[in-house]
Amino acid sequence: MKTSKNTKPSKIFTYKIGGIAGGGQQVAGLIFTKACVRGGLYTFDSSEYPSRIRGGLVTYRVSISDQPVNAIYKTTQLLIALNREAFDYCLPDMTKDGVILYDSDKFEVKPGETKGVKTYPLPLAKLATQAQIKPIAGNMIVTGACAALLGYDLEILNEVIKNTFADKGQEVVEMNITAVKFGYQYAKANFDVDKFPYKLKPINKNDQSIIVTANDTISLAAVACGCKFFASYPMTPASSVLERLASWAHLTGMVVKHPEDEISAMHMAIGAGFAGVRSMTATSGGGFALMTEALALAAITETPVVVIESQRPGPATGLPTWTEQSDLAYLATAAHGEFIRVILTPGDPWEAFYLTTQAFNLAEKWQIPVFVLVDKYISEGHQSIDQPDSKKFNIDRGQLLSDEQLAKLTDYKRYQFTKSGVSPRAIPGQKGGVYLANSDEHEEHGLTIEGFDALTRIKMVDKRAAKLAGVLKDLPKPKLYGPKTAKLTLLGWGSVKGPVLEALKVLDKVNYLHFSAAWPLDKAEITKQLKGVKKIVVIENNHDGQLANMLEQVGVKITQRLNKYNGAQFFPEEIIELVSKLK
């Protein structure tokens, strides 16, 4: 992560734009965010939207700071309400000294309605006519007005617009630049911009940071570490992995397949893994429900496979475009029979990159299925981060037999009993390596056995289970953030990391133990890390407290659980308030 010498709590500015779906607020918001990052600022954004394509409320929210920012904040300083619904929904989060811009061609704000929060009308349709631009570029008038209020550099904004619309032609670029300029001048002339207390200043005009979601970094990581096959059926919020990898296929040489269903997607990922290619699939909880039988198939055939699961609130269709962390317990026990699987749980896009590269290594080294478990909040929310560093990961394909090694073997046993549980792999096409990958229980060559051969059955189960010791050694250890000793230790996994880290900037004598691998749990390691900890508070974006339950099973005594399951992630402010009460 980016680091800064300045460690005092930073000022956070949060901007939110809301209107009907298809109104361009996500595009406008992201352009403004990019302009901030290009200017060396740090951002974290998130979008709320319904499960429909046109109409309905859509919001885009971004928190901006001159220090690294790990979450979006609830408290909003600048709101752009493009319709009444957005105004009503977003108003409660406004600070007293903030400003609301609203589309006065769409609705009127009555006196006293905002309880003292300053409002400025922005008649977008009329302004678009005056500026001689198409109504579709009205969102850029808004962006220009925001830049005026914040005192932000128009040049950087124009650069981002040029890049964003370059492939749509010069005319579109110019129209958007005209719109921004018009909005900027209109605000200068009609709003009291000097009185707006929040200003943003670029600190570095050519910052090379990237603005990415966890789905983006997962896709980038898959390419970077040699994944050559990806099969996936679209499902929010995992779909953008499929879209990204498909759009890059000509460049990367990856084969990207969108098959008939998730059942097929997972079996294809396994088939490609069996054939010797690094392979992956991606889905959400409901899609993974269909993949579950194949998880067991990967396990008994000891075929490496990487599964990206981006959670949304369940059960069943649940809240398709919202967020939750409610699939951990499911993945830890999914499919019948007993076998090892790994669940990596990155907390942000940066971690998602490196854990995805690690997922491929773990899958191939231990010949097991490995999950990267994320959720809508980080799968679709963007964070500004440094570019990933290829020196910070390695490629470990595990035990693959060469043609020469195979030629020396007179009796190749694909499932040879070994101490580590891992047996060297041959790849179809290699001479001397012919074997059967068998969903039936099998002997060392892969040939089916019956329960009459009980000894082989026991040895084969033990062989697969023996991998656990080695797997645990290879997993990332829980990482402590904040002071070494504290009155209260927060404990979590996945995307709660961001808002918790923000809360730690304010909370005194509180630290956070982050689980980047939530399964399998290493009892010895956890016991060591929690030695002497006074209060353990497990924070999760779910109802049951799934990690808390699992930790109790390995003997951890939990003081308190903090759970949120309304479809949204935690905000730093909420954590600060909840934890302050517990201390």
Partner 1 sequence: MATEKDFLTPVLPTWCPGCGNFGIWTALRQALAELGLEPHQVVMSFDIGCCGNGANWHQVYGFHSLHGRPLPIAYAVKLANHDLKVITISGDGGGYGEGGNHFIHTCRGNIDITYIIHNNHRYSLTTGQSSPTSEHGAKTKSTPDGLIEYPFNGLQTAITCGATFVAQGYSDEVVHLKELLKKAILHKGFSLVDILQPCVIFNEKNIREQYKQKVYKLEETDYQPTDKITAYQKAAETEKLPIGILYQEEKPSYESQLPQLAKMPLVKQEVKKEDISQLLEEFK
Q: Which of 21, 27, 136, 427 binds partner 1 (CB under 8 A)?
A: 427
Question: Is residue 276 within the footprint of partner 1 (CB under 8 A)?
Answer: yes
Least Å distance, CB 241 to partner 1, is: 13
How far is Cα 390 from Cα 280, in angstroms, rounded to an integer?
20
From 48-56, 248-256, 371-379, 535-543, give the range in contact with partner 1 by CB under 8 A.
248-256
Question: Is residue 190 within the footprint of partner 1 (CB under 8 A)?
Answer: no
Least Å distance, CB 60 to partner 1, is: 17
Question: Is residue 340 within the footprint of partner 1 (CB under 8 A)?
Answer: no
Question: Is residue 62 within the footprint of partner 1 (CB under 8 A)?
Answer: no
> 396: which DSSP letter?
-
Nearest to 380 by CA among 247, 496, 211, 224: 211
C-beta atoms surrounding 9 within 10 Å: 11
Q: Which of 17, 297, 526, 562 binds partner 1 (CB under 8 A)?
A: 297
**Secondary structure (DSSP) of 227-293:** --EEE----TTTHHHHHHHHHHHHHH--EEE--SSHHHHHHHHHHHHHTT--EEEEE-HHHHHHHHH
From 104-112, 294-302, 372-380, 489-497, give the range in contact with partner 1 by CB under 8 A.
294-302
Q: Which of 46, 279, 325, 423 binds partner 1 (CB under 8 A)?
A: 279
Main-chain phi, psi angles of 86, to 5 degrees: -65, -40
Q: Which is nearer to partner 1, 277 or 506 (CB)?
A: 277
Q: Which of 19, 24, 183, 271 binds partner 1 (CB under 8 A)?
A: 271
Residues 250-269, interacting with partner 1 (CB under 8 A): 250-255, 257, 259-261, 263-265, 267-269
Q: Which is nearer to partner 1, 74 or 442 (CB)?
A: 442
From 9-17, 110-118, 210-218, 499-507, give the range in contact with partner 1 by CB under 8 A.
210-218
Question: Is residue 1 within the footprint of partner 1 (CB under 8 A)?
Answer: no
How far is Cα 113 from Cα 140, in angstroms, rounded to an integer?
27
Q: Which is nearer to partner 1, 62 or 575 (CB)?
A: 62
Site size with partner 1, rule: CB under 8 A: 71
Nearest to 331 by CA among 569, 557, 547: 547
> 322: which DSSP letter?
S
Main-chain phi, psi angles of 489, to 5 degrees: -115, 120
From 99-107, 247-255, 487-495, 514-522, give the range in contact with partner 1 by CB under 8 A.
247-255
Q: Which of 390, 402, 527, 559 binds partner 1 (CB under 8 A)?
A: 390
Give the x-and-dash track for 164-183 against partner 1 (CB under 8 A): --------------------
Residues 19-38, interacting with partner 1 (CB under 8 A): 34, 38
Pairing of β 13-20 and β 369-375: unpaired
Cα angle: 536, vertex 541, 547; to 5 degrees: 50
Partnered with residue 298 across adjacent β-strands are none
Question: Is residue 278 within the footprint of partner 1 (CB under 8 A)?
Answer: yes
- CA 106 to mean position of chain CA atoms: 35
Range list of β-strands (E), 304-414? 305-311, 342-344, 369-375, 383-385
Contact 568, 380 (CB under 8 A): no
Q: Which of 114, 358, 438, 542 binds partner 1 (CB under 8 A)?
A: 438
Q: Which of 90, 157, 161, 223 binds partner 1 (CB under 8 A)?
A: 223
From 18-26, 120-128, 445-453, 574-582, give the range in contact with partner 1 by CB under 8 A.
445-453
Question: Is residue 487 within the footprint of partner 1 (CB under 8 A)?
Answer: no
Least Å distance, CB 384 to partner 1, is: 10
How far is Cα 52 from Cα 553, in angstroms, rounded to an integer?
41
Contact 149, 188 (CB under 8 A): no
Least Å distance, CB 3 to partner 1, is: 20
Question: Is residue 402 within the footprint of partner 1 (CB under 8 A)?
Answer: no
Q: Which of 436, 458, 469, 554 binds partner 1 (CB under 8 A)?
A: 436
In order of 62, 127, 187, 260, 502, the CA distances from 82 in angstroms are: 17, 14, 16, 39, 30
Question: Is residue 352 within the footprint of partner 1 (CB under 8 A)?
Answer: no
Helix or strand holding residue 476 (H, E)? none
Residues 515-574, interacting with partner 1 (CB under 8 A): none
Nearest to 470 by CA among 394, 367, 356: 367
Question: Is residue 57 within the footprint of partner 1 (CB under 8 A)?
Answer: no
Question: Is residue 367 within the footprint of partner 1 (CB under 8 A)?
Answer: no
Per the structure block, which two tokens stand in for 116? 């003292």
Question: Is residue 341 within the footprint of partner 1 (CB under 8 A)?
Answer: no
Least Å distance, CB 244 to partner 1, is: 9
